[in-house]
């Protein structure tokens, strides 16, 4: 898993939204613990080149940017349609979580 500072901050902001915490039954402390754990296991990526704009959603741009700068093989997301052909220009596949899990078993 690759993570830039900007992407970590985006995850924290979104996860701390009251509606998301309520849906997950999580406190602010729970969210902070999850973000801290994510940061501990992720490979930090420095953004040397910004390839924007490639996509319509700025949040997705941050994911693509981390993938490109981190030389990822794939982006794993439920949001596949929003990526279009852009990742393939960088040799990056877009997979659903189920596809990614199946590929780990093979």
**pTM recorded for the entire structure:** 0.86
- Which pLDDT tens digits describe the chain residue by residue (106 residues)? 999 999 999 999 999 999 999 999 999 999 999 999 999 999 999 998 877 888 988 779 999 999 999 999 999 999 988 999 999 999 999 999 999 999 888 6
Q: What is the pLDDT of residue 52?
A: 84
Cα end-to-end distance, the chain, whole Å: 19
And the tokens for 24? 């997950």
Q: Spell out the domain ranges in the chain.
A: 1-44, 48-106
Q: What is the pLDDT of residue 105?
A: 87
Q: What is the pLDDT of residue 51?
A: 76
17, 65, 75, 94 from 78: Cα distances, Å: 20, 18, 10, 10
């Amino acid at each position: 898993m690759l993570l830039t500072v900007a992407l970590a901050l985006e995850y924290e902001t979104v996860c701390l939204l009251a509606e998301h915490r309520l849906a997950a039954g999580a406190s602010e402390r729970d969210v902070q613990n999850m973000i801290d754990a994510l940061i501990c296991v992720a490979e930090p990526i420095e953004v040397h080149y910004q390839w924007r704009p490639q996509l319509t959603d700025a949040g997705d741009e941050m994911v693509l940017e981390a993938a490109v700068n981190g030389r990822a093989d794939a982006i794993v997301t439920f949001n596949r349609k929003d990526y279009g052909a852009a990742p393939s220009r960088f040799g990056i596949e877009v997979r659903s979580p189920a596809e990614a899990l199946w590929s780990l078993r093979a």
